[in-house]
Structure 1
Amino acid sequence: MDASRKWARVSCGGTFTVALSESGELYSFGYNQCGALGHGPWDGAASAARQAAAHADTAASQRHRADNVHIVDVACGNYHTLLLTNDGIVYAMGSNGNGECGLGAAKLHAPASQFWRLIQRIRDRYFPAKEFVVQKQIFVNRQPLETMSGLFSFFTDFELVGTGSFGTVYVVRELVSGKLRVCKCISKAKALVAASQIEIEISAMKALNHPNILKIFDVFEDAKHVYLILEHCSGGELYKRITQSGKHGCVLAEGEVRGLMKQIFQALAYMHSKKVLHKDLKPENILFNDRTTRERISIIDFGLSEIFDNGQDFTRNAAGTVTYMAPEVFARKLCFKSDMWSAGVLMFLLLTGHLPYSGSTVLEVRRKVTRIEPAYERRCQHVTKVAVDLLRNLLNRNVAKRFSAVEALQHPWFKVSDTEIFEYRV
């Protein structure tokens, strides 16, 4: 998904704004009467309209089968929103005195319906909808808090799922949407990176909007912490999947690896097009979004990332995990293709169960990375030749000849049928 979204209609009320995208998604930005902030995809809007239709008279419910109801227009007042469906019925959404959302078929008298249609005709003739772009980052809010307890006005069901030197991680439930989110609490005093790097992490995530990159929804801050509200991924780390396969003496089937690498390359191609260098691509920083068979993944942790300026080709700010570092990282001249080397290391690990380079010290790993070819003949005997060819192009010490993400996606390996791939027991 592109970082920008095209809107068909935008309607502003006294306290909130409702936007209808060209793809039919409804978004809400603003406050209800209780001061709760709404933002992001208003996923309940279409289903709520269908439910309202189902509770209307028999004829209406027959006309409004779930797969036929679509929102085509929106009008926003101070506290209520009117939704117009594709077959002309208007629904009202809004907050009552307790801030609870109510929805139902609007009982509009004939003059009101005529007025609605008149306003539509005037708007369409004199104020036609124009195509304009709204950046996702505009809607990632940043709000000050007195203390962490201020988060309780927005989230509930705090479940501690991780701790580290930087702070803590919770799974929370957003009060407005009811959705699960992840709250990453970064201690300003304990963070291993400078405050400026935390701001780069936030800026990078705000600038990116892709199905295979973890989404950021909100940022909160008090005197001691920065709180990042992130997308919740329930499928676990890719690293865990690798270790589980290793315990059973197996590596992942090549077809499965291809599916994972395609998503990674797509994310990197998009990321690099937005001038963002990740610097720390590894299986611990890749999560499965859920446990379904589709196995969609998301790249996470932009804590070491960097945003290049226009015309910038490289950076001297070296960072990362040593066994995934490209040769040029040790020379402190990183570029976008440094991420591609890390992707090659990851692909090698997924296919063989082994890292191409390892060592007991940083100097040992550096010597191997800068001087020695990976052991393709020994480790890749069970891997198809076309896959090994892609590996060689990713783990090429010559940066100029190393594949970019776009070039990797065009490689013949991604045209191989999954039926030709089998699981390999090591």
Structure 2
Amino acid sequence: MSAHTPADAATALPSPAAAHPERSNIPSSNELFVALPRCWASLARSEMKNVVGWLEVVGATSSVADAEGPYFKVASAGEAIIVENVALQSMRVDGAVVLKNTQRAVAGTCHIVVPGCNILFVMHPLEHIEALEIQDQQYNTMLGGMYTITSKLLGRGGYGSVHLAVNRRTHQRCAVKVGGVEEQRAFDREVDVLVAVRGHRQFVQVLDAATTTIATYLFMSRAWGDMNRYVAVLGPLPEDAAKHMFRQILAGIQHMHHRNLVHRDIKPKNILVQEFCRLPSVVVADLGLACTVRPPTYALNSWAGTVAYMAPEVMRAHPHWADIACMAAEGRAELARELAGPVFALGKDARAADMWSLGATLYYMLYERLPFDAAGGPPRYLESIVCSSGLDYNGRDLSGECKSLLHKLLAVEANDRYTVDEALACSWLAPPSPSPQPQPSPSSSPSQQPSPSSPPQQPPEPEPVQQQLPLPPPSSPLPPSPQPSPSPQPEQQQEPGRHVRRNWRLPTLATRCRYPRVAKDRPKKYKV
């Protein structure tokens, strides 16, 4: 996209395919439903010095019924990108609603979502990324020759910042989490859990790890972004998209629970979206707080996680629980009794706390808001849970199966919640059963209907069965079996599909042990 003013962007420009007949596979601006100054793919090499970015189209081609012509226009004004809505009632630009005939300036990568259209648009500006000079001699000796850590910041994890890195041998991009040595314990725990679940497709894959006297380095596979960003760009997700992604999240947590591992910090920020599309793949990340639980109680009396997605019984392990309970009750005796009741008792199954966090994550994916108010900290969060009359489903219509799953995941009592196996087997997440194939009736089969010209079929004659001799006792010698005289018998034709029974003479102990020498001298079938 070359540098133009917003006024120049409104001018109709020729199609790139018309300007370059050999590039007929390049879609025109009308096919993209967007008016661009010029297609980046059709620029000559000498013109690319003024290019500031390009447009990526994600998804199958579709259109909005009540809009004609380009939906929006894109132009560049200096270092900013101007997006103007020209035909739609509303559209989302990086999560912000842009009404018709209004503009929005964006910086960096911009995601455009058109309501009622399957296409997603991504504006990629050209950016200058520099390689960081790592002042760590131990790292340079171990992994400095394999990876280049860049200045592009992808995000921040539980104990460090995440940067873009490039494998020098394969030129593949990955992510590296760089932390301080004071978080060595969390780093070791995350590496151990990632190695334990390595190979499962619902977890971020660890590539390399190193620790020095200065910092820790964890190289992982790179994703598009987290669930927080995905929901912010697209808004509340449809049920089919939420179902598609939540089933993958449950499969990853099931893999952990079956190995007596708990995550303890499940939230949208720790769910990574692999690609930006309508039905993406997701993985579970940030396992720095994960730990092992032991049967039969699977209890874990420690306080860890994010308050907005924390189960009620986990709040009881807070070091300042008495102060939090007093602030939440504020002199209300009933609320004080609830906070001192069995719901907030210690010793609960830690896997049930993960299920509560999964329910809060699913609710956020569907409504883009939290199920319980945590803006006032732990006291306000506890008050909203205890005093709540139920989940708030206002704002959209959900199916009964989805509401039932949310109700079972966000049950205040830990023993009433679904396990991960029960959640995967619920009616909302169960795959649709294949429709039974209609079986043709015997009367409708043309091969079984007799023709009027054919003679009537005779019933088949019963097959002669050889008379079975009585078996002698094991102690008596086996009498010689009589040899029947050879007599020509007509060959019996077996009717297709009919099972013919035959009486076979069963071997006795005498017949099995009649030739012990042969059985003894027989060579072994398998060599050990």
Asked whether the equivalents of residues 260 and 294 of structure 2 are also in contact (C-alpha less than 8 Å), the reply is: yes
Q: Give a deviation string over 1:53-112, Cα, whole Å, max 9, x none.
A: xxxxxxxxxxxxxxxxxxxxxxxxxxxxxxxxxxxxxxxxxxxxxxxxxxxxxxxxxxxx
1:244 is aligned to 2:233:
yes
TM-score normalized with structure 1 length: 0.57
Q: 2:215 aligns with which of 191, 213, 225?
A: 225
Find the aligned partners of 2:238 and 2:267 in 1 and give their Cα distance: 19
Q: Distance in 2 between matches of 1:314 and 1:208?
A: 21
Corresponding position: 1:201 with 2:199: no
Aligned length: 263
Task: Give 1:181's aligned amino acid.
Answer: C
Q: Go from structure 1 to structure 2 and tell me whether the alpha carbon gap of 1:394 and 1:182 turns closer, same or farther (over 3 Å shift).
A: same
**Counterpart residue number, 1:102:** none
For 1:202 and 1:187, the matched residues in 2 are separated by: 15
Code of the residue aligned with 1:374 in structure 2: it is: G
Q: What is the alpha-carbon distance in structure 1 between the residues aligned to residue 383 and residue 278 of structure 2?
A: 40
Matched, 1:158 2:124: no
CA distance in 2 between counterparts of 1:215 and 1:323 reads 27
Task: Say whether the 8 Å CA contact 2:424–2:430 is kept in structure 1.
Answer: no
Q: Give the equivalent residue in structure 1 for 2:388.
A: 372
Q: Return the offset for 1:198.
A: 2.4
C-alpha distance in 2 between matches for 1:157 and 1:356: 39
Please, which of 198, 201, 206 is the counterpart of residue 211 of structure 1? Answer: 201
2:406 counterpart (383, 391, 406): 391
Query: Does the CA contact (< 8 Å) of 1:186 and 1:227 recur in 2?
Result: yes
| Residue 394 of structure 1: how far off its partner (Å) | 0.5
Q: Whole-Å Cα distance in 2 between the matches of residues 354 and 224 of structure 1?
A: 40
SS at match of 2:266: coil
Equivalent residue, structure 1, for 2:179: 186
Query: Corresponding residue for 1:168?
Result: 161
Structure 1, gaps ≥5 residues long: 1-144, 418-426
Change (3 A) 1:340 1:365: same
- Counterparts of 2:304 and 2:289, CA distance in 1: 7
2:162, 2:177 within 8 Å by CA — same for their partners in 1?
Answer: yes
Distance in 1, matches of 2:228 and 2:396, equals: 23
Q: Deviations over 1:360-382 (max 9, x none)?
A: 22111022224524334x43751
**Partners of 2:286 and 2:380 in 1: CA distance:** 27
CA contact (8 A) 2:154 2:164 kept: no
| AA partner of residue 170 (structure 1) | H
Residues 1:318 and 1:162: Cα distance change in structure 2 (over 3 Å): same
1:257 aligns with 2:242: yes
Match of 2:140 among 125, 134, 149: 149
Selected match of 2:370 from 326, 345, 355:
355
Deviation at 1:261, TM superposition (A): 0.8
User: Is the 1:395–1:402 Cα contact (8 Å) retained in structure 2?
Assistant: yes
Identity across matched positions, percent: 21
The structural deviation recorded for 1:303 is 1.6
1:163, 1:147 → 2: CA distance?
25
Contact in 1 for aligned 2:241/2:278 (Cα 8 Å): no
In 1, Cα distance between equivalents of 2:155 and 2:431 = 42
The TM-score with structure 2 as length reference comes to 0.47
Alpha carbons 1:200, 1:307 under 8 Å: kept: no
Matched letter for residue 325 of structure 1: M
SS of 1:314 mapped into structure 2: coil
Q: Distance in 2 between matches of 1:231 and 1:409?
A: 26
The whole-number CA distance in structure 1 between the counterparts of 2:311 and 2:160 is 29
Equivalent residue number for residue 286 of structure 1: 271
2:177 touches 2:218 (CA, 8 Å); kept in 1? yes
For 1:11, the equivalent position in structure 2 comes to none
SS of the aligned residue for 1:379 comes to coil
Q: How much is the aligned-residue C-alpha RMSD, in angstroms?
A: 2.3
Q: Distance in 2 between matches of 1:171 and 1:370?
A: 43
**Conserved? CA contact 1:280–1:321, under 8 Å:** yes
Per residue, is there more strand in 1 or in 2? Answer: 1
CA offsets per residue over residues 139-181 of structure 1, 9 Å max, x none?
A: xxxxxx8433333211136343146594432221223443222
Matches for 1:15-414 after TM superposition, within 5 Å:
146-150=137-141, 151-156=143-148, 158-162=150-154, 164=156, 166-189=159-182, 191=183, 195-209=184-198, 210-233=200-223, 235-246=224-235, 251-292=236-277, 294-309=279-294, 311=296, 313-332=298-317, 333=346, 335-359=350-374, 360-376=376-392, 378-379=393-394, 382-414=397-429
- Give the Cα–Cα distance (whole angstroms) in 1 for the partners of residues 167 and 293 of structure 2: 33
- The one-letter code sitting in structure 2 at the alignment partner of 1:344 is G
Question: Contact 2:267–2:357 at 8 Å: present in 1 too?
Answer: yes
The 3 A distance-change label for structure 1 pair 306 and 157 is closer
Cα pair 2:262 2:351 within 8 Å, conserved: yes
> Which one has a larger percent helix, Structure 1 or Structure 2?
1
Any stretches of 5+ residues in structure 2 without a counterpart? 1-135, 318-345, 433-528
1:230 maps to amino acid: M
Partners of 2:297 and 2:195 in 1: CA distance: 20
Structure 1 pair 331–177 and aligned structure 2 pair: CA distance change class (3 A): same
Letter in 2 for 1:207: A
- Match of 1:147, SS state, is helix
Task: Judge conservation of contact 1:356–1:374 (CA < 8 Å) in 2.
Answer: no
**Alpha-carbon distance change, 306 to 258 in structure 1, aligned in 2, over 3 angstroms:** same
The answer to whether the 8 Å contact 2:245/2:279 transfers is no
Which structure has the bigger radius of gyration?
2
